[in-house]
Structure 1
Amino acid sequence: MFVSRKLLALAFTALLCAAGVTATGPTATAEAAVPATIPLKFTNNSGRSEPVYIYNLGTELSTGRQGWADASGTFHPWPAGGNPPTPAPDASIAGPASGRSVTIRMPKFSGRIYFSYGQKLVFKLTTGGLVQPAVQNPSDPNRNILFNWSEYTLNDSGLWINSTQVDMFSAPYAVGVQAADGTVKNTGHLKPGGYNGFYNALRGQPGGWANLIQTRADGTVLRALAPGHGIEAGALPANIMDDYINRVWNKYTTSTLTVTPFASQPGIKYYGRVSGGVMNFTNGSGTVVTSFQKPDSDSVFGCYKRLDAPNDQVRGPISRTLCAGFNRSTLLTNPNQPDTGSANFYQDVVTNHYARKIHAQMADGKAYAFAFDDVGAHESLVHDGNPQTAYVTLDPFN
């Protein structure tokens, strides 16, 4: 199955959460059994007149099969695909009109809830599984459709559901979960005027950042690509972060970067120094535990390639911390990472301005603007171990 390279990193985060481990330590386990499906209330407050289509696609956790769920939460495995890819079955669910809600059922999946305005999305199947939309490719069949998605994992330990901008910023929405005591946690809402505020801020950022914005021929603003996809599409210079990266590498040639990757385990520390162009990390005994070649801008934005983060307890957590420090530009100002105080984020002239401008427009300041935005708990994610209802709310375009 095709998965965005950035979402591979995000999937790692979801796996840790599902296993009861996060960058800040173990999560709480469910006190009550999670049923096979839970309700998802999908509310349309967008103010738009186009029909909305909903898709619930993912991996059935009990079997590992890939497929889709219908409105009742019934799982349907994908049929065999082909080469070239063949059309996938129509998995769409009719969404609510503006001002209305529909309630569907979510099964125990790790997957995505897509929604589109005006047109159904085009999904195809290869011999390896589902082909997800990749709108950084101008020939992608979904390039001119206004759509977005949320990611979630529902398992025996509860529900994790996020609002994500890891791949793009597009149609505004928020997510939520109701606990057994009736309280509701939600995240993802923009400030009043935040949708237009983000695009206006991106247009005003020199250096090519405005080129991340994609529009349709009729003038409709569709999305802003995340900067890694912008580099891939030729919209953003491939060396846009190089000056900051070079300064970081120079600094830690003569000083030490200390990484404490688990907030709940402050005694676990790793020490980074650059030698021969390579940043080597040692443990408390002085043994080298992992090394990093100097990353390029794409590695930083995607948290992959030279900043790959395997699902382990050493390199992965160190890489997550480095990735967050590079995107937030905190590695020069604080040799003790992660720097979790948001007041220090994005202060260098060379930074991830896409992420900076998204966070500035969020009502609660939280977003998944890059794959490891959860370092320090700055991500737009809600979780409950005994979820009663999940929520997706389509917000106004203002």
Structure 2
Amino acid sequence: MRKTFRRRLAAAGMALATVLGGTLLATGTAPPAHAAVPATIPLKITNSSARGDQVYIYNLGTELSSGRQGWADANGTFHPWPAGGNPPTPAPDASIPGPAAGQSTTIRMPKFSGRVYFSYGQKLVFKLTTGGLVQPAVQNPSDPNRNILFNWSEYTLNDSGLWLNSTQVDMFSAPYSVGVQRPDGSTATTGKLRAGGYNAVLNGLRSQSGGWGNLIQTRADGTVLRALSPLYGLETGALPASVLDDYINRVWQKYTSATLTVTPFADQPGTKYFGRVSGGVMRFTNSAGAVVTQFEKPDASSIFGCHRKLDAPNDQVRGPISRTLCAGFHRSTLLVNPNQPDANADNFYRDGVTNHYARVIHSQMSDGKAYAFAFDDVGHHESLVHDGDPRQAVITLEPFN
């Protein structure tokens, strides 16, 4: 699995259960009693795309009980991947026929941390190396999936419930929304674009100066396939490496004479870290004045990928500070608010130098929520649904308008 996927979702069940548990304990309310989450739950996939293409579904991931990687068939039965090779060898055909336009198909989801892929008109090509499954990498022009229209959702289903999200961390492509049916019969949904939102995102990128329109990939016949994330835009040369330099320089200059206060845990308002730039390095101290971590001035890749100079280990100090910084850079809130994270979405993407990919995607979401970068969950602006006693998961393939 890709690093951003593993980092964000593989431990999502544990991380979110901790957050929810903390909330329940703080209010003195006991968590509701319910039956254990079954071994599989239904996933209803509805095709509202209005496209005539054959749809193919894939449920790929890690079996949580064993740690093995593999795929699940329509009944939710787990199949481990066979050994791969070098060069990579073809993976078994894990495709499940999807619903025709206007129809629905229900399959079973096992206790996975995984992805549900869907493709239009053509099966995806998966291969296996000695290290496991090779995921599609359409930023590579020679990837066999480059000219296939597809997308995926991410989920964790475990004994604590279901976490299911839509994602644009790697690309904005075939539109879809996700949902979970609760025990009372209601369904929580997210990830749905506004009417006309699909084209509005693409047109917003095309009209943004600075190379943002170059993120859009098309087939030879002109069919739009996707818009790459800014990180992949840098890697492919679609965006210039200097795309964020002006904003980065202004931030680093500001905090040579001002203090950036980071409060990384919403449920721990007393835990604060204080950042100042000296000698080109931003050093963070705790309330006792001790230096706890430091960051070199990041470049656009470090920001767009939330990695390298903004690496975020799974710890209690550097990681939480780094993810807060990363979100502040993406949303361009670091100059206007020295107290981070800034949870007010009205303040996001206001600077001329910002993540315009994330800006246009969020602007076209019905509920304003999206996973447009790896730490878009800072402040709870991510497109995620969760229930501790899920009755059914839902993925809806939305129209291309």
Matched, 1:230 2:228: no
1:367-396 superposed Cα distances (whole Å, 9 cap, x missing partner):
000000011110000000000000000000
- Please name the residue that 1:6 is paired with: 4
Matched, 1:337 2:335: no
1:324-360 superposed Cα distances (whole Å, 9 cap, x missing partner):
0000000000000000000000000000000000001
User: How many angstroms apart in 1 are the aligned matches of 2:319 and 2:14?
Assistant: 11
Matches within 5 A, 1:1-398: 3-11=1-9, 14=12, 16-17=14-15, 20-21=18-19, 31-398=34-401
- SS, match of residue 59 in structure 1: strand
Say whether the 8 Å CA contact 1:173–1:188 is kept in structure 2: yes
User: How many angstroms apart in 2 are the aligned matches of 1:261 and 1:316?
Assistant: 9
- SS, match of residue 5 in structure 2: helix
Say whether the 8 Å CA contact 2:281–2:296 is kept in structure 1: yes
User: How many angstroms apart in 1 are the aligned matches of 2:180 and 2:174?
Assistant: 20
- The residue type paired with residue 276 of structure 1 is G
1:204-225 superposed Cα distances (whole Å, 9 cap, x missing partner):
0000000000000011000000
- The residue type paired with residue 171 of structure 2 is M
- SS, match of residue 254 in structure 1: coil
Which piece of structure 1 moves more, 246-255 or 59-68? 246-255
1:9-49 superposed Cα distances (whole Å, 9 cap, x missing partner):
42366265365348x97896874310000000000000000
User: How many angstroms apart in 1 are the aligned matches of 2:380 and 2:14?
Assistant: 14
Say whether the 8 Å CA contact 1:30–1:156 is kept in structure 2: no
User: How many angstroms apart in 1 are the aligned matches of 2:249 and 2:305?
Assistant: 18
- SS, match of residue 214 in structure 2: helix
TM-score, normalised to structure 1, is 0.97
- The residue type paired with residue 95 of structure 1 is G
Say whether the 8 Å CA contact 1:29–1:157 is kept in structure 2: no
- The residue type paired with residue 399 of structure 2 is P
- Please name the residue that 2:28 is paired with: none
1:167-192 superposed Cα distances (whole Å, 9 cap, x missing partner):
00000000000111111100011000
- SS, match of residue 128 in structure 2: strand
- For the aligned residue pairs, the C-alpha RMSD in angstroms reads 1.7
TM-score, normalised to structure 2, is 0.96
- The residue type paired with residue 10 of structure 1 is R
Say whether the 8 Å CA contact 1:20–1:26 is kept in structure 2: no
User: How many angstroms apart in 1 are the aligned matches of 2:331 and 2:33?
Assistant: 33
Structure 1: tracts of 5 or more residues without a match: none
Change in CA separation of 1:304 and 1:226 when aligned onto 2, cut-off 3 Å: same
User: How many angstroms apart in 2 are the aligned matches of 1:278 and 1:30?
Assistant: 50
Change in CA separation of 1:155 and 1:25 when aligned onto 2, cut-off 3 Å: same
User: How many angstroms apart in 2 are the aligned matches of 1:308 and 1:9?
Assistant: 11
Structure 2: tracts of 5 or more residues without a match: 26-30
Change in CA separation of 1:330 and 1:151 when aligned onto 2, cut-off 3 Å: same
- The residue type paired with residue 279 of structure 1 is M
> How much has 1:57 moved relative to structure 2?
0.2
Change in CA separation of 1:326 and 1:360 when aligned onto 2, cut-off 3 Å: same
User: How many angstroms apart in 1 are the aligned matches of 2:150 and 2:32?
Assistant: 34
User: How many angstroms apart in 1 are the aligned matches of 2:106 and 2:86?
Assistant: 36
User: How many angstroms apart in 1 are the aligned matches of 2:153 and 2:241?
Assistant: 28
User: How many angstroms apart in 1 are the aligned matches of 2:376 and 2:33?
Assistant: 25
- SS, match of residue 256 in structure 2: helix
Say whether the 8 Å CA contact 1:30–1:157 is kept in structure 2: no
Say whether the 8 Å CA contact 1:58–1:111 is kept in structure 2: yes
User: How many angstroms apart in 1 are the aligned matches of 2:64 and 2:157?
Assistant: 9
Say whether the 8 Å CA contact 2:304–2:373 is kept in structure 1: yes
Count of equivalent residues: 396
User: How many angstroms apart in 1 are the aligned matches of 2:266 and 2:246?
Assistant: 30
- The residue type paired with residue 57 of structure 1 is L
Say whether the 8 Å CA contact 1:9–1:304 is kept in structure 2: no
Larger RCO: 1 or 2 (CA < 8 Å, sep 6+): 1
